[in-house]
Amino acid sequence: MGELKDKAAGTANDLAGKVKEGIGAATNNPELEAEGEAQQLKGKTQKLSGDVKGAFGDKV
């Protein structure tokens, strides 16, 4: 069950990061753009964690 939670949280962070990055780029706000990129990375890491947990049956 933890794998699905990690994947969902990862997807949410990835999407929110993309929105922030886009708004930062559109408004010429490099700080917001960088924050969005960092949030996307966090999301990708969470999704990867979910994949690993799924492969090992939540024993990780």
Number of domains comprising the chain: 1
For the segment 1-50, what is each residue's pLDDT rounded down to a tens digit? 688 899 999 999 999 999 999 999 999 999 999 999 999 999 999 999 98
Residue 60 within a domain: no
Angle at 52 between CA 22 and CA 48, to 5 degrees: 10
Between 21 and 57, the higher pLDDT residue: 21
Structural domain harbouring 41: 2-55
Q: Is residue 15 part of a domain?
A: yes
Contact 57, 17 (CB under 8 A): no
Could you tell me if residue 48 is inside a domain?
A: yes
Identity at 15, one-letter amino acid code: L
Backbone phi, psi, residue 48, to 5°: -65, -40
